[in-house]
Structure 1
Amino acid sequence: MSFSFSRKIVLWLSLAGIALFLLSACGGKATGSVPNSTSQTIVVVAAENFYGDIAQQVGGSHVNVQSILSDPNVDPHEYEANTKSALAVSKAQLVIENAGGYDGWMDKLLSSSPNSSRVVIKAFDIAKVKLPDNEHVWYSIDNASTIAQAITDSLKKLNPASATEFDRNLQKFQAALQPVQQKIAEIKTKHANAPIGLTETIFLYQSGPLGLNVLTPPEFQKAIAEGNDPPANAVITAENQITKRQIKVLIFNEQTVTPITTRLENDAKSSNIPTLPVTETMPSSKTYQNWMLDQLNALEQALGKS
């Protein structure tokens, strides 16, 4: 009887050992485990999809990117964070936000799930080109290059084993910016000092390098960008610039449409002045580079017509 009991003990211990071995073998794939650095997929959350696209181009197969704002038909200024966004941020290893007052909801999400090991990039803070009271830093091609470098550096820290690949992808990203820079130079050569109108401030980051002369009163642009009613005298000036054909093109942000901007757009069409829609959020079918290039090509055509 004692022999039978001993056999049971040995059998039990053997089965327990096998179970522990299987558990340890499966443990590497369990949620919360630390993956091997050579196969690590970095979880990235971008507040806006253009930053998510840059992260994807640099990170390649080593990143899993989720962009919160991705609909070009929605006004980003009216976005409110939800539970899904909060959950995504809580799991992120790298978070990219614009900051500068543009997406304050992201800071609230970060505060709600503190994580000392999470890397956060604030594009506005590292941008080299900044305009007064204008947080749309991603519209500067030079800033896009700076932000891509910051993303690359962060990915290399999170996954050192793939550093060479990240550097190579960054070089490809920078090379794909060259046609955009060339188009800016071409338009500046052909249309320097051409008078244009803007419904808001977003395009100022390109109108400067393009050498265009923005006539719309700054207080009008600023008010529309901030969701406020422009001063009456600024509205009258903007309307007169159109009805008297003082501008060659009206560039409007189709994500911040108001009755006033719609009236300006209609006035421009009635006056045979080309109108050019631009967006704050990148269309889902494009990359950052061809998004910017397509808009510039459309601008070149509009200026040519006028």
Structure 2
Amino acid sequence: MSEQNTAPRGSRLRLNAMGILAAMTALLSVSPQTLAAEPPHPHIHAIGVENQYADIISQIGGKYVEVTSLISDPNTDPHSFEASPGIARQIAHATLIVENGAGYDDWADKLIAASPNAGRQVINVHSLLKLPADTANPHLWYDPQTMPVVADAIAEQLASKMPEHAAEFRQNAGKFRQSMEPVNAAITAFKRDFPDTPVAVTEPVADYLLKAMGTQNLTPAALEYGIMNDIDPAPQLVSEQNELLAQRKVRVFVYNQQVTDPITSHFLALARKNQIPVVGVYETMPEPGYHYQSWMLAEVSALRKALSDRVSTESLIAGKQ
């Protein structure tokens, strides 16, 4: 298994105060005159706060975009990400930013607000999908319906900035939708072949995908959301999860590869002891070797393999288990 973030998780939902202060200080040092003095660039400067969104921008924009992802390390807990002055400068120069929203990367809004830019467009995926303000699960990219909508929105924003290439951007969005067909077909086949499969999870990272695949998540919601929000689970919730694993009431254990602590490590060990296949999931797209579509297809394939062959896929990164 790859090395994981084992830092204290009390700050998972808060941006490090020193990081945000340093980042905003860096923004103040970037004067309008400095920005204006730079020669025009032939590309659109874009940011995908999480690398899965950066990947979609690249697929839609092609050679006309210069894309940066701010969170891409598979060993980093995105909830506890710390901004830096370099990231602040990247945001200051970007004219298209795609962020997740739903409380997942609110720190980015602070940096965006600190560098006003009338020509900048921000796509907040939570808002784009018109989801309720109190949406509990922020891992929106695991819903197979999300990224095609994001791709279309990116195409329209790029078209507004480069009208002469609008047809190409929209065509690329159409190609993206087509490229999701194998993923959707694999989801449909799983739901048909393994209906109502009982599963357990550590956190609601892949819950949208698991629901689309027709599985039954038996982990108490208070447990998985408590772990996500760094709340110590009640003993009775831990006992319920222990029973699911010890008595083999679930057929797969879905484990967040990017965050571990004593309680999740305990559940992982219990699943292994009872020969329950483990499938690792990620909060950011594994790199290198994946695009969003191949990542989602790999996760669906790993879940199928867990049921058909009782084989664990704890990591999607080659050479790491």
TM-score, normalising length: structure 2: 0.82
Quick check: 1:72–1:281 contact (8 Å CA) kept in 2?
yes
Q: Show structure 2 runs of 5+ residues with no match.
A: 1-35, 311-321
User: Cα offset for 1:31?
Assistant: 5.1
- Helix, strand or coil at the partner of 1:272: coil
Instruction: Name the aligned partner's letter for residue 249 of structure 1.
Output: V
Q: Does 1:87 align with 2:89?
A: yes
Structure 2 matches for 1:1-306, cutoff 5 A? Answer: 32-33=38-39, 40-127=42-129, 132-285=135-288, 286-306=290-310
Aligned residue in 1 for 2:24: none
- Helix, strand or coil at the partner of 1:169: helix
User: Cα offset for 1:252?
Assistant: 0.8
The 2-side partners of 1:256 and 1:127 are apart by 27
Instruction: Name the aligned partner's letter for residue 111 of structure 1.
Output: A
User: Aligned-pair RMSD on alpha carbons?
Assistant: 1.5
User: Cα offset for 1:305?
Assistant: 3.1
Query: Deviations along 1:129-184, whole A, 9 cap, x unmatched?
Result: 77941111111111111111111110001111110110111111111111000000
TM-score, normalising length: structure 1: 0.86
- Helix, strand or coil at the partner of 1:65: strand
How many residues matched?
A: 273
User: Cα offset for 1:227?
Assistant: 2.3
Instruction: Name the aligned partner's letter for residue 93 of structure 1.
Output: T
Query: Deviations along 1:8-39, whole A, 9 cap, x unmatched?
Result: xxxxxxxxxxxxxxxxxxxxxx954556xxxx
Q: Show structure 1 runs of 5+ residues with no match.
A: 1-29
Quick check: 1:128–1:146 contact (8 Å CA) kept in 2?
no
Bigger relative contact order (CA 8 A; separation at least 6): 2
- Helix, strand or coil at the partner of 1:68: strand
Instruction: Name the aligned partner's letter for residue 143 of structure 1.
Output: T
Instruction: Name the aligned partner's letter for residue 70 of structure 2.
Output: I
Quick check: 1:44–1:92 contact (8 Å CA) kept in 2?
yes
Quick check: 1:47–1:97 contact (8 Å CA) kept in 2?
yes
The 2-side partners of 1:234 and 1:101 are apart by 25
- Helix, strand or coil at the partner of 1:141: coil
Identical aligned pairs, as a percentage?
A: 35
- Indicate the structure with greater helix content: 1
Which aligned runs of 4 or more in structure 1 are off by greater than 3 angstroms?
30-35, 128-132
Quick check: 1:184–1:210 contact (8 Å CA) kept in 2?
yes
Change (3 A) 1:64 1:49: same
User: Cα offset for 1:234?
Assistant: 0.8
